[in-house]
Structure 1
Amino acid sequence: MNLREGLDDWTDWDGAAFELGRALGLFAEPVTFTQVKRIFWTDNPLGNALHEMLLQLVSTGVLERRDEPDDEQFRWSGRGW
């Protein structure tokens, strides 16, 4: 899985974290979001780390972030990375 392809449009933060996990090889291709959603919906080291990585990718310009009440989303920035 390619993170650029997975985040080509605005994606809720948990879906973006799942795509990042896939790109890192943490979730094999047959694993679906619903099988691992607890990682993103509970307070745990892996889910927290993936969210923090998304924020770091925003700070470097790789991703864009849209943060509205109850709706945090990410997408590939398209700035030539």
Structure 2
Amino acid sequence: MLCWQDRFVDLSERLAEWTDWDGAAFLVGSSLGIFGESETFTKVKAVFWTDNPLGNALHEVLLQLVAAGVLERREEPDEQFRWANR
């Protein structure tokens, strides 16, 4: 069973490189336990590709992590996020 520290380290490693916003949101959702370990992005992509409360909230989490200095964000070539090097 994963503890919260394992999920935190996993997220920082998985977001080490620039990742499209929907993939980054999926990783955040997975690290929070919203998506099960066996769920893949393709199974839940509608959460990110439609206007709905969960997808919108996970995108907002990404933006708040940028504001807190945990993640970096770029808008070109697409909206992408990565773990900020501290």
Structure 1 and Structure 2 fold alike (TM over 0.5):
yes
For 1:1-80, list aligned pairs within 5 A: 1=7, 2-68=10-76, 71-79=78-86
The runs of 5 or more residues in structure 1 that have no matched partner are none
TM-score (norm 1): 0.92
Number of residue pairs matched?
78
Q: Give the aligned residue type for 1:75.
A: R
Identity of aligned residues (%): 71
**Large movers: runs of 4+ above 3 Å:** none
Bigger proportion of residues as helix: 2
TM-align CA RMSD: 1.0
Relative to the length of structure 2, the TM-score reads 0.87
